[in-house]
Every structure is written in C-alpha cells, then in structure tokens.
Structure 1
Amino acid sequence: MAMNILKKAQRRTATMDISVSIFVVMILAMIILPLPVGILDFMLVLNLALSITILLLTLFTKSVLEFSSFPTVLLITTMFRLGLSVASTRLILTEGNAGQVIDTFANLVAGNNMIVGAVIFLIIFIVQMIVVTSGSSRVSEVSARFTLDAMPGKQMSIDSDLASGLITEEDARKRRSDLERETQFYGAMDGASKFVKGDATASIIITLINLLGGVLIFSLQHGMGIGEALNQFGKLTIGDGLVSQIPALLISIASGILVTRSGTSKSFGSSLVPELFSTTKVMFILCGIMIVFGFTPGFPTFTFLMVGIASGVGGYLLNENEKAQKEKNIQSEQEQLAQKRTERDKNTKEVIVPHQVDAISIEIGYGLIGIADESKDENIMSQVLIIRKQFAQELGLLLGPIRIRDNLQLEMNEYAIKIKGNTQAKGTLYMDKELMLIPDGQEVSFKGIPAKEPAFGLDALWIESSDREMAEISDFTVVDPLTVLVTHLKETIRLNSYSLLGRQEVKQLLEGLKDKYNVVIDELIPDVLRLGEVQKVLQNLLKEQIPITDMVTILETLADYGNTVKDTELLTEYVRQALKYTVVQPYMDETQTLHVVTVHPDTEELLGRNIQKSSAGSIPVLQGDVITRLFDSIKTIHFQLEAQGIPHILLVSPKIRPAMKNLINYNFPELAVLSLNEVPNEIAITAAGMVESIV
C-alpha cells in the first residue's frame, strides 16, 4: 500500500516537472517560431488569467511560506510576456495584424484617438516603473537585510527552546528549515525584482520598435501612406503594449504584496502547481472574471469562457476536497475526544459495582459529542433539568439524574436511551441537518436522508439547515437534532415511567407530603398497607399513563379499602375510580365529549367467565381463534377512528377492565381501556363503534 502511494506521488511529481518544462520550452519556441493569430490570442488570454491568479493568490495567502516559488514564477512570467511580445511583433511587422485580443484592447482603450491610447499606455508604464516596481524592489532589499541580520538571534532562540524542552528535535529541525527558506527567499526577491524593472524597460522599447518598424515597412515596402500606416500601427502598438503591460502591472503588484519566499527541497514544478492552484476562492473569482471578459463585446468569447469554465470546475473540485478533508479532521478530533473521555471514565476512582446502574442514561456516538457541549447555549445538559421538572408536574414522578456518556461502540451519529442499564430506544441524529416531518402520503421536493421520527415513528427527512426556511414556508414541521433527541427521551421515559418508581422514590414522595398530610400517611403505612404495596398501585397507574400528582386522593382511597382488600390490582381499580376526572381528561375531544367503543355483551360475558389471576395480573384465557377474531374486530374500529382523527377509548364493565387491558396491551398499547365506573356522569358520551360478538 505504501509503495503504491509512493509510486503515485513520484509519477505525479514527474508529470508536474514535465508540464513546467514543456511550458518553458514553449516560451523559447514563441521567440523563434511564428505563431498563428488564434494561438496568439489564446496565449494572451492565458497570460492575463495567469497574472490575475498570481495577484489573487498573494492576496489570499495566509502564510509567507505558502507561495515559496514566487521569485521563479516572476522570471517565468516575465519571459512568457517577452515571448508573447516577440510573437506579436512578428505578426505586426509581417502581416499588419496581431489578433483579436490586441485589436480589441486598442479599440477599447484608444477608440478612434490614437493619442489617448498612447497617453494611457505611458501612464501605466510610469506607474509600474516609478511606483510599483521601485517600491517592491526597495521592500525586498530592506527585508533581505533585516532577515539576514536577525538570523543568528533566531537560531539561538531555537537552540534555547530545544535545550529547555519546550520543543522537540523534530520541531527544531522544522523551524531551522523554515528560517533558512525565509532567508533564501528574501535574497531571491531582492534580485527577482530586477526582472520586473527590466520587463518594463523592454516593453517600452518593443512598443517603439513596433510603431517605427511597422510604419517604415508598410510605407516603404507595401506602398501604404505614412498617415494610414501610422494610424494602423499606432493602434496595434498601443494594443500590444497594453496587453503586455497590464499583466506585467498585476505581477508587479503581486511582487510588492508577497514579501517572503522560503527555500524548498522540491523542484520548481512540484512546488509551483500545488501552490498556484490550491485556493478555492481564487479559482472561483478567476472563473467569474474570465466569464465577464468573455461576454465583453469584441473579446474572443469562446476562449475566455473556456478558461473561465475550466477554473470554475477546478474551484468546485478543490472545494469538495476541502470539505471532505474538513469533515475527516472533525471526525478525527471527535474520535480522539471520545477516546480520552472513555479512558478518563476507566481511570476514575469511583467504584462501580454491577447493581449500581443509572436509572436513566443516554449514550452517544462520537459524532454527537457536540450535543453535550455545555459551552453552547442549546445542549442536552440544559434540557435535563427541564425534563425532570416537567415529569414532576405532569406525572408526579421524581426522576433521578440523567447521565450522558459517549460510547465508541455506537455509530458516529447514533444514540441509545437506557433505562436501568437496558437499551429501550435508539436513534440517529445529523448535527448539521434538520429533521422535516412528512405527513402521510404527501410528496416532497426536498433532497435529504429518509428517516423515521424516532419518538412516534412518523415519516421524516433529514434536510440541510439552509432548506429549513423553505420547508417551513411549505407548511412542513422542521425540528433541530436536539429537539428530536429530547422528544424521544421524554417519550421513552413516559412509556417506562412505572419501572422508574421504586420504593425509594415512593418514600421521597411521601416525605414530601408528610408535613401537611401526615395523618393519612401514618394511618396507611405500615398498619394498612406496606410501602411495597403502595408502590405496586402507583406503578399500575403509571403503566397506563395516569398521573400520580394527586397523591392525597390516592392515599385516602388506599386507606379506605386497604383494610379489606389486599389485591393491588383491585386496589388500583378503586384508585382509578377515585381519579375518574383525571383518567378521562386526556381522551376527550375539544367539545369535552368522550368517544367510546363498547364491547358486545356476549363477548363481555365470555371474557368475564374465563379470567384467571397470575403474578402479572388478570387475563382472559381463550382459544387462539377466539382471540384472533376479537383482535380483528378491535383493529378494524380502532384504525378507522384513528384515520378520522377521533380520540376514543374502549369502554367495558369494571369486572373485566384489568383483564381486557392486559389482553390487548401488546397489540394495541395506545388504546386506553376504561370501565363504566371511571366515567363521570356529567361527561357527554358518544358511541363510536362496537366490538363484535366472538361467541
């Protein structure tokens, strides 16, 4: 594997070297061989694009060592411009035509007035020579001197840090190498700035040669009038000068911006290509500029668009690579953080024995560690206290601490909710996305990851955060990952609330009431019922989602019947009847009407005759085919009412209510079973259906 990677890297390096070598040889060929007009246009556009790229790259470079090849690039681009000047001069003097790019530059700048074009050309020349080139040369010279003077002190600082143990030997070698490269760069820049000055001087001389040579050749050899020749070659000369001087000016500005160059052990081609085309922003900006030039009247549209599209595609590919690398780095950091937390938990001094499991815990994959970051305003830790308060108010249940820990055995975006050490629910979150709920049968045009809402099993789609506003405008419900987890946690706790109520929790509830209602507590416990029997009754209530907030009524009822009744199932029925208003309230519609599904009298009688007691409670013992017919009848009515959005309950006689609930609990856990004694007389009742006779 390593050998394959090394071979690929060597082949890539060789390709870069060959490409750059061909480019340099091509420059020499342009000086010797004549170029067709179309190829010259392409080369001029390429020169302009290369100059803009170099300028933008120096603007976006964050470190001076990111563009270490700049002095060499300066020489190559200078030679490239001079080669183009020679090629354009050959065409001007031999054919009187230098291509569309030069002609368009001349007409765009000079128009019908050759003097205006000449003045603009001279202004660009003066700015480059006196302002930019002179200033950058001075900066390079001074920087080289200061760098050389500071070099001994910097080397001593590196040695001191190494001796004191602040840095490793590898760090010291790297810093020495960077210092050496920086010093070499300043020296190279001091000399490279002379290239720019020489290029500016050569360009003005070439311009004058084009003008005088063209007028003399075409007036003496081709019989063209001096005025006509002067007008024609004046425009061509100005266009050629502008095409040459504008890229030269951009390069001069870039040389003034970039003030460092670090020496490198790599070849020029190996260091140039990755550095020159390594910034996504540069490629996208270059793409936009080239496209604008392509649609400018007079310019060769196809050539500019070809270069622009190529740079845009390159920028897109670079951007995708950067995103992939960024995600990879984040995952690596999260894995390291999760590993450290796991090791920290292993090394903790707290002794944990097998029976000391957490009542409620959440385990998260390393990709979800950010959801427990307490430095953020919205995190799962801040929601835990809210959840505990909510259950205390709604169900009367006092929850213990909820522990959040990472688990490397889970998938990156996976979480697990555990009740007393047993996994009760699992789900998947995407921290960079939002969950859009999809109503049944509705089509969506959004792209995303199909999913199920974990708490209620609704169809959903994980969409990009940027699409949230559009989804909400389209009347879809969109929730963030934290809300998804909190909702799933609350629903899991609600379904398992009865198992969280132990004797210790019951004792805490009673102690909270003792100051004000000590009489009923002292009478009930332990003379009438034991604490464990009270716990069983409260668990039976929570199992059917009946709040135990009205503890006084519950305790009063148990005290009234506890002397004669010891069966906790029957005691639960008496308590339910005492809490009748609390029991029916969740199932009434907005008009305070209770929709009930009744059971055929023959079926009720059959169920009542076959009830048997067990440790799990009462349950009817019937033949398999009889139970199947019963379930089919309930299923038909239940699903019809659910499809119509009508809240409903199954209403039966008090005798069979516990047995009926135990029988259908597995197949229809959401269907509430109430007895006639649990419905207050003043509540309006509407018959919504009847379970057929199964006799």
Structure 2
Amino acid sequence: MQKLTKAAVPIGVVAIVLMLVVPLPAAVLDLLLGLNITASLLILLVAMQIRKPLDFAVFPSLILIATLFRLALNVSSTRLVLTDGYAGKVIEAFGHFVIGGSLIVGLVIFVILTIIQFVVITNGAGRVAEVGARFTLDAMPGKQMAIDADLNAGLINEKQARKRRHEVTAEADFYGSMDGASKFVKGDAIAAIIITLINLIGGMAIGVMQRGMAPAEAVSTYSLLTVGDGLVSQIPALLLSTATGIIVTRSASDGDMGSDLLAQLGRFQQPVRIAGGAAIAMCLIPGLPKLPFLVIGGLFLFMAARMKDVAEVDEEAETQATGDEEPKPDSPEAIAEKMRVDPLELEVAFDLVDLVDTARGGDLLDRVKALRRKVAMDTGLVIPLVRTRDNLDLPASQYVIWLNGVPAAKGMSPAGTVLAIGDALDGLPGKATREPVFGLPAKWVPAELQRQAEMAGATVVDRSSVITTHLAEVVRQHAAELLGREDVRLLVEMVRRTHPIVVEELTPTLLTLGEIQRVLHGLLEENVSIRDLVRIFEALSVRAKVSTEVDGLIEAARSALGAAISHPYVTPDERLYVLTLDPAFEQRLLESVRVGEGGQVLALDAGTVDGLVNGCTGLLSEAERLGLAPVLVCSPQVRAALSRLMRQILPRLPVISYTEVSRTAQIESLGVVNGAVAIR
C-alpha cells in the first residue's frame, strides 16, 4: 500500500501530461471534471481547518499539480468543443444553467466571475504571498537568535531547539514556495480567459465556415459550450485561489478558522449591539423594506445579550484565578520571595538601561544568556540565571556584579563610547582606564571614533562585550561558589540517565551528595572542568572504598582526567611550558606535608616559603614577559598541599602533577625552583 501511494503522484502527473496530447472521450471528461471540482473543494476545506500554514506544507506543490490538471482538462474540452461541437454533459449542463434564457446575461455573469477570480482573489493572494515571503525571510535571523537565547537560558533543550530551528527554516521555505505558487494561480486565471476567447471565436468560425451553421445558431451553440467550459474551469480555480488566500493570510492559532472567527468576533459585545441597533435604525429610511432589517437587527441584539452573560462568567473566573495565584504583598510567600538571595546578579546604572532594552537595540540580555552556555561548555557548570536589574542609586555608567548577595566586581561602561585596548592611544580623545579582566591599558573613546582607534592598532570592544567578558571572568573565578547542593543533584541525575550503574555504585552507598559537592568544589577552585562527570564518578567510586578524605578524592578525580587538565595550557603549536621543582627540594616539601581540617598543608618555615615564592615569581614574570603561560609541575603526593599554598600567594600559576601532563604536547622547561635560587 505504501509503495502504491508513493507511485500514485508520479503516475498522476504523467497521466496529466498525456491528457494534453491524447483526446479524451466525453464520458471520461465528465468524470475528470467532477473530480477536479471535488478535489478543489477538498483543498479549500482543508485550508480552512489547519491551525498554521506548515500543517499544509504540501500546498505549493499541490497548487502546481491542480493547475496543470485543470489546464489539461481545458485543452481536452477545447478539442471536443472545436471538433465535435459537444464536450460532455457536465459542460452542457453548466452552460444551460448559467445562460438560462439569455445569452447576454450568461456572458455577463461569466465575465464577472472571471474578474472576481483574476482581479480580486488571485492578485490579493499573490501580493500577500510575496509580502509574507519577504517578511518571513527578514525575520528568520531574529527567530534563530531567539531560539539560541532560549537554549542558552535553559528554557528548552537541544532537541526542542533543533525542532524549532527546523520549523523556522520550513516556514521560510513554505512562504518562499507560496510566493512562486501564487504565480501559477495568476497564470492559470489568464490562461482560462484566453482559452475561453479561443473557444468562443474559434467555435463560431468553425460553425459558420466548416459546419455551415447560421451565425445566430453558431453563436448560440458555441457560446453555450464556451461558457459551460469556462465555468467548469473557473469554479475550481476560484476555490483554489480562495484556499491560497486563506493559507497565506492565516496566522498560527490554537483552533481552526471557523472556531477562531466565531470566538474573535464574539469577544466584543458592544460592536455587536451597535450593529444590531444600526440595522433597526435603517428601518426609518423611507422606501426601505422594514422586515429584513428588523429580523437582522433583532438577531444581532439577541447575540449581544448572550455574549454579555458569557463575558461576565469568564471575567469572574479570570479574576478569581488571578486572585488565587498572586499572593498578597504582606503574605509570608511575598516576603519570602523578596528575601531570596540570587546567586548571580547584574546591576546597571540608569544610563546603561539601553543595553538591556531590546526595543532600543540592546543585546546585553541575549549575551548574558549566551554566556551560560559557554560557561557550561568550558567548566561543566550550569550557572544559575543571571538576574539583571537597574539601580538608580549607582553612579552614572557603573555596573555591579553580585555573587550570593555580595558585590564581587564593579566596572564602568560610559554611554556613547567604545573601549579601545592598546598602548598607542595618546592621540585619541577619551578617558583612560584599565581593561577589567586582564588589566590592560585602555581608553573609553567616542563611538564615532571607532574606526580611527582600529587604524591606530587598538582592539575595540563595545560596551555590552565589556560587561559580558567581566561577568564571565567573575563566574570563572567563583565557579565553585556557584555550585550548590541542588546543582550537584541535577548533575548526578543527568549522569544517572546515561550511566545508571556508575551513579548507583557511588551514591549514597559510598559518598553523599555533600561529599561529591566538596570534590567538585575542589576541582572548580583549580579551574578544572567537571564536564566529564562519568570518569570523575568512576574514579571516586574506586577511591572512596579506601578513604573518603577530600584531598585524596580530588587527586583521584584529577588522575582520572589526566591530560585533560593540562590541555587548556597547551599552546596552538602543541607546546606546554612548565616550571619544575628540584628533586631534593621536592622531597623536603613532601616531608613537610601535614593533614589539617582544611586538607593537606605544607608545614614550612618562613625562609623556605620565601625561597619558593621568590623562585616561582621570578620565573613566572620572565615567562609572562615572553607572552608565555607556564604551569608548575610536581609529584602527585605533594600537589594538593603545594597548590593550596600557591593559590594564596601566586594564584595565576597553576599547579599540576606529572600524571596530568599532556602526552602529545612538547614539554618546554622554563626553569627549576630549588627553594633558594631559581635555576634556568
């Protein structure tokens, strides 16, 4: 059955093409004319029932096939009219029905139908399709950005985003196809008029010159057949044109056209009442029949009275529902909502509101939403929604980033300016400053001088990018503080869906959610991504059977991640620049490791600490002057305690173990630290 369905359309199209050259008997033509009218009526009814245009996505192709079928019938009927003077019962019956007893009246009615089809419906549907295609294509980038923003905000998942992107693309393709399909309908109307004139003029000429008919008899015979043939063609064409107009003017809704029409016209009581009163008032005009207007006016007033009852019930129910949903201002729920501390907030001054106002072209909110996706890809942490609000108490051009109710960072973003980052900025007017993330020299210059700043060799950044970059850095530095117990539960459930055995073995038998949270905190504090939760959980399961000491669990997780930890520090040319410890000095550090309440620490005297710090600082400074970002490599046994010390005194120097060094990168040693003098 499925194969037959697939072959039906190609076979039908081939049959239509054959109809253009193969004569058809009158009986077969009658059957196909009936099929044409019924199919056109079916298409119109389906167009009225759909909720959105994409529910009838095959419509543009269907227009082409229906138009070709109708033209093939026109050719067949024309052949019969001109050769036999007879084209079947259907055409003859339509001709008698329209012409009746007057040829002139019949021709006038036929011309009127043709004008309605060609001038009104076809032109209107074509214009709407053209405008719809243009606006749909123009709106496509904005819809794609809205989908990406919802995905980054966590409102939809990847599968839903793909589905919505496909719908946007399909909608653009549909309206583009409808723009072309409307030209088929218009061309069909023109062809019908030309074919009708050919039938009328050619038929009368054949009747008089070949068949020897009297002119009056030829006009009567061939005008009847011509009008009947034209009417049989115009009725399906009119139905298809109407369906085209309905499709291209239909907006997406929850109901079909009939339900929406009654619901929307019946929504407003006052216009219906006024219309009924106006109909009754027209009875006062002398000479007008009073009964039709009284009946119509009374019907409208009756409808208005019924609508009033329905409106009162709906309004009361809506008011009651609203009252139940919204808590009172002094209720415990409302007070608790105001007391809630958001994990991440962004406050902007009054003159920065344009950055968040989409009506004024602001894109800061979209960029903040996109930031959540980027952070998730980089760190494995799904940060909470960033609450953005304005604060009239802030000084002009200032913004504040809040973390768990405490200001974490501040910055400036003057209106009408861009941030030019570089050293050669003395020739540009503006306010000198420092780039908020890396502390590079910069200057806020007027936006109209952006081109001059770029020509001066500066990197130009717009205000929204400055705020977003600053926010990203704050999130990166405080990622561990943003990972709450509920977030850990969601991460565990995410792993459970794909690797249930891993989760069942780990929790709650071996580790609680709190202990898992402490391990993930420790990884995030050292800028280690927790995206690969499966390997982390597998390593924790093995280590927890021996000990649940946090530092040991963290080191087990780091060992499982291995080269993934050092990969962010590998340069594009596959080089890893490292600082190492002198073996004797490393042994001294290992012997000084002590376990305290906060984890492993180094019990060193002040002189040894100074030697370690001075040696690392000197080598790090020299590497940074060369544009390099090295890491300090040591043994796994001393790494946790050494890293805890270095995060306090030299946080920009990562500490990794030998097991975490990339196996594919080329290792470049920048020096050896021995606790006294750095060896280069």
Q: Kindly name which structure, 1 or 2, has the bigger radius of gyration based on alpha carbons.
A: 1
TM-score (norm 1): 0.48
Per the normalisation by structure 2, the TM-score is 0.49
